[in-house]
A and B are shown apart, each in its own frame.
Chain A
Amino acid sequence: MSRRHVLSVTVRDEPGVLVRIAGLFARRGFNIESLSVAQTERPGISRTTFVVIGEEETVEQVEKQLQKLVDVIKVIDHSEAPFVDRELMLIRVAVSSPEDRVEIRQIAQDFRARIVDVHRDALIFEVTGDAGKMDAFIDQMLPFGIVELTRTGRVALARSGGQERLQPRHTSFAQTEGLSNA
């Protein structure tokens, strides 16, 4: 059965590691729905999070091929255990009248979206949450006119009890912490 898998891949922060992974996906005909990369608590180690859709066998093969890469330290398929995942979106919404402005701000409040840029003709919101929340917010804004938007792709961590520590903790990086706490 084809379903969505969220894979966390910890990698050595070597030049070209992303190219290796992207190339592997392309070469073996695997499709990536979303991809994000960030540093972890350990210097020199990055975490990439993939969302892939595929049959069980295909995803198993993806994991094995990833694991074969010398720079890949660990592959975790979050779909097999509870996990938290978040995404960040920046979205510029057109404002054509004062009434619209009020309504847009009201909806944004309901979504706990932050205004990060204000202009006479448009507002930029920062929205964080899971993919469903992003899609719902986009739906709400469509009637007003979306000028442009960008999304980070999903990041994920296993819930407590399921996580594997890489080594004794060093400094935390706001980048990843900020996203998952939103």
Chain B
Amino acid sequence: MNGAAAVLAALERQGVDTVFGLPGGAIMPVYDALYDSDIRHILMRHELAAAHAADAYYRASGRPGVVFATSGPGATNLVTGLATAQMDSSALVAITGNVASSLIGTDAFQEADVYGITLPVTKHNYLVKSVEEIPRVIAEAFHIASSGRPGPVLIDIPKDVQQAAFSGYFEVTVDLPGYRPTTRGNQRQIARAAQLIREAKRPVMMVGGGAQSCPEAVNEFARITGIPVISTLMGIGAYPYGAPNSLGMPGMHGTVAANRAVTGCDLILGAGLRFDDRVTGKLSGFAPDAKIVHIDIDPAEISKLIRATVPVVGDLGNVLPELGEQVGKLEIDEWWTTIREWKATYPERYRAGERMVSQEVIELLRDESGGGCIVTTDVGQHQMFAARLFTTDRPRSFLTSGGLGTMGFGLPAAIGAAFARPGEPVVVVTGDGSIQMNIQELATVFKHRLPIIVAICNNGMLGMVRQWQEMFHAERYSEVYLADCNPDFARLAEAYGIAGYNISDRASARSIVREVLAKGEPAVLNFEVEEAEKVFPMIPAGAGVGDMIIGDQDPDDVGDLPLGEPEGVGA
């Protein structure tokens, strides 16, 4: 057995059955060993896409994703994927080949300092120096990636180490004196937190990505206490978006109800989130009257941006049940009356004229799929529309690049999700800008006939940038126009062997969506939508939550246009 075979054996011991990747010179010994292995390898068309797929494999299943890449460009192509996973706390193990040890540092062919380059975008990383280290390093990598606050770990293995004879043991104990995540909450802190929550007149709970791993605990806490629940972008689905306690998403493009509640509340129970600037807006304007109870497994997130009145470091799944027991049912009827009024006054609505808008496309997909699909998104306007309208009641089912905001995430993420949860349909909500950042992966979709529907909200623009230019740059539309040289997306899909549709009218939209959903085969749906549509509400960057622009969510602005009944169209 050589080092490469030891890598695969060690991966098998970790329960890995699927790996995403792309071979190259410096990782050929591993790919040679793969030939004899039971591990399934999904050949992607770009290493970045492989990283996103592995990332989404974790997000959709809770099992760490694994990606292989070669040295130099292969490894540097992973970087955006690692940073994406790092920002969104996704457990990912990347294994890269490097040039032989004797060549390291000589600017050899396809050599890059991958250890150095990936240091700031990983939770931890390794450069393996000898073949004996392989079992220990791989065991440590999986432990670090998936425990505590999850994150990406990269293992860089020189080619000679992969080729060296291995005669070591696979039984290793992980001994990391510097890495001991606190999972149990401090009892005194929990008691203090419970008291504050009981005393609050206007409390809200805000759940983030950390809640995806313990949806039962979140649900149970909301049920026992009756607290209003706000889900950040990363928390969507951990608590059912459609539940009566749900106020939806907060922040820059959050719902009116959620943002009003944040501004008006006297206590925020932050659960598994990090008070990102897109959630808080200007810090001084965030929840001015609120005490903060902050539960997170990462102590460094507590009081980083928002000072916690009572911090609780621990695993949400352990802390919430204890907390709920001590808090009990909250008497907050008056607060609920106010919140219900906000919810009733500002339901999701949009203005639709002659042309379709992204919002109705997303609603159509949601309604026709019955909410039973996994949703992935790219980044931009469609992402915000999807977050608010493609509401899912299931955890790990709305996959989006939140922290890094990586365009190009959606399609490869759908591939990762499709392998993580076989049989479930996946819808990629994307834009004409984002989809072209990883469109080569249609080949991977075709190869495996994955039940992935790519829904392009095609407004011929980099829509979110356009929106900012309209609102904050005096309508100086600089370098956002794509329509004049966008490909014919339907024909492009067909070139990859996938059914493609260009859809410009409402009448055909519904029947085509219904048809492709029924088939369960890959499809690309190119919806031509209004170019000037904007996402509202909006809190301008650097402004406070109180400065929210309600825009077309204001009933006085658009008249009474409830969801699903666009103007001038019979539902």
User: How far does the Cβ of B556 sit from chain A's closest Cβ, in whole Å?
Assistant: 43
Are A70 and B303 in touch, CB under 8 angstroms? no
Q: Is B144 an interface residue (CB 8 A)?
A: yes
Q: Which of A11, A15, A27 contacts B178 (CB 8 A)?
A: A11
* A19, A23, A64 interface centre (most CB from chain B within 10 Å): A64
Are B300 and A67 in touch, CB under 8 angstroms? yes
Q: Which of B115, B116, B129, B300 contacts A65 (CB 8 A)?
A: B300
Are A27 and B177 in touch, CB under 8 angstroms? no
Are B178 and A73 in touch, CB under 8 angstroms? yes
Contacts of A134 in B (CB 8 A): none
Are B298 and A68 in touch, CB under 8 angstroms? yes
User: How far does the Cβ of B491 sit from chain A's closest Cβ, in whole Å?
Assistant: 45
8 Å CB interface, A55-96 against B: 57, 60-61, 64-65, 67-74
Q: Is A101 an interface residue (CB 8 A)?
A: no
User: How far does the Cβ of B427 sit from chain A's closest Cβ, in whole Å?
Assistant: 36
Q: Is B299 an interface residue (CB 8 A)?
A: yes
Contacts of A67 in B (CB 8 A): 299-300
8 Å CB interface, B291-309 against A: 298-300, 303-304, 307
Are B178 and A23 in touch, CB under 8 angstroms? no
Evaluate whether A68 and B300 lie within 8 angstroms (CB atoms) in the complex, with A11-B178, A73-B177, A73-B178 already known: yes
Evaluate whether A61 and B304 lie within 8 angstroms (CB atoms) in the complex, with A70-B124, A71-B178, A73-B177 already known: yes
Q: Is B127 an interface residue (CB 8 A)?
A: yes
8 Å CB interface, B78-127 against A: 115-116, 119-120, 123-124, 127
Contacts of A16 in B (CB 8 A): 115-116, 119, 127
Are A12 and B178 in touch, CB under 8 angstroms? yes
The interface bits of chain A over 102-117 (1 if a CB of B lies within 8 angstroms of the residue's CB, else 0) are 0000000000000000
Specify the chain A residue showing the minimal Cβ separation from B149.
Answer: A68
User: How far does the Cβ of A30 sit from chain B's closest Cβ, in whole Å?
Assistant: 13
Give the interface size class of chain B.
Answer: 10 to 19
Q: Is A20 an interface residue (CB 8 A)?
A: yes
Q: Is B179 an interface residue (CB 8 A)?
A: yes
Are B119 and A20 in touch, CB under 8 angstroms? yes
What CA separation (Å) do A60 and B311 show in the bound complex? 14
What CA separation (Å) do A61 and B307 show in the bound complex? 12
Are B127 and A15 in touch, CB under 8 angstroms? yes
Contacts of A73 in B (CB 8 A): 177-178
Evaluate whether A23 and B176 lie within 8 angstroms (CB atoms) in the complex, with A16-B115, A64-B300, A67-B299 already known: no
Q: Which of A11, A12, A19 contacts B119 (CB 8 A)?
A: A19
Give the interface size class of chain A.
Answer: 20 to 34
Contacts of A68 in B (CB 8 A): 298, 300
Are B177 and A23 in touch, CB under 8 angstroms? no
User: How far does the Cβ of A45 sit from chain B's closest Cβ, in whole Å?
Assistant: 9
What CA separation (Å) do A27 and B127 show in the bound complex? 21
Are A64 and B299 in touch, CB under 8 angstroms? yes
Contacts of B307 in A (CB 8 A): 57
Are A70 and B300 in touch, CB under 8 angstroms? no
What CA separation (Å) do A73 and B300 show in the bound complex? 15
Contacts of B120 in A (CB 8 A): 23, 27
Contacts of B144 in A (CB 8 A): 70
Contacts of B300 in A (CB 8 A): 61, 64-65, 67-68
Contacts of A27 in B (CB 8 A): 120
Evaluate whether A60 and B303 lie within 8 angstroms (CB atoms) in the complex, with A68-B298, A70-B179, A71-B178 already known: yes
User: How far does the Cβ of A59 sit from chain B's closest Cβ, in whole Å?
Assistant: 12
What CA separation (Å) do A87 and B123 show in the bound complex? 34
The interface bits of chain A over 1-26 (1 if a CB of B lies within 8 angstroms of the residue's CB, else 0) are 00000000001100110011001000
Contacts of A12 in B (CB 8 A): 177-178
* B116, B123, B299 interface centre (most CB from chain A within 10 Å): B299
User: How far does the Cβ of A47 sit from chain B's closest Cβ, in whole Å?
Assistant: 13
Specify the chain A residue showing the minimal Cβ separation from B299.
Answer: A64
What CA separation (Å) do A23 and B129 show in the bound complex? 22
What CA separation (Å) do A71 and B303 show in the bound complex? 23
What CA separation (Å) do A11 and B115 show in the bound complex? 19
Are A19 and B116 in touch, CB under 8 angstroms? yes
User: How far does the Cβ of B130 sit from chain A's closest Cβ, in whole Å?
Assistant: 12
Are B176 and A70 in touch, CB under 8 angstroms? yes
What CA separation (Å) do A16 and B122 show in the bound complex? 14
Contacts of B178 in A (CB 8 A): 11-12, 69-74
What CA separation (Å) do A20 and B129 show in the bound complex? 18
User: How far does the Cβ of A110 sit from chain B's closest Cβ, in whole Å?
Assistant: 44
Specify the chain B residue showing the minimal Cβ separation from A64.
Answer: B300
Are A57 and B303 in touch, CB under 8 angstroms? yes
User: How far does the Cβ of A122 sit from chain B's closest Cβ, in whole Å?
Assistant: 38
Contacts of B176 in A (CB 8 A): 70
User: How far does the Cβ of B312 sit from chain A's closest Cβ, in whole Å?
Assistant: 15
Contacts of B304 in A (CB 8 A): 61, 64
Contacts of B179 in A (CB 8 A): 70
What CA separation (Å) do A68 and B148 show in the bound complex? 10
* B119, B120, B124, B177 interface centre (most CB from chain A within 10 Å): B177
Question: What are 14 contact pairs spanning A and B, CB under 8 A?
Answer: A12-B177, A12-B178, A16-B115, A57-B307, A60-B303, A61-B300, A61-B304, A65-B300, A67-B300, A70-B124, A70-B144, A70-B179, A73-B177, A74-B178
Q: Assuming A23-B120, A27-B120, A73-B177, what are 11 further A-B pairs, CB within 8 angstroms?
A: A16-B115, A19-B116, A57-B303, A57-B307, A61-B300, A64-B304, A65-B300, A68-B298, A69-B178, A70-B176, A71-B178
The 5 closest A-B CB pairs, nearest first, are A64-B300, A73-B178, A70-B124, A70-B179, A72-B178
B interface residues, Cβ below 8 angstroms from A: 115-116, 119-120, 123-124, 127, 129, 144, 176-179, 298-300, 303-304, 307
A interface residues, Cβ below 8 angstroms from B: 11-12, 15-16, 19-20, 23, 27, 57, 60-61, 64-65, 67-74
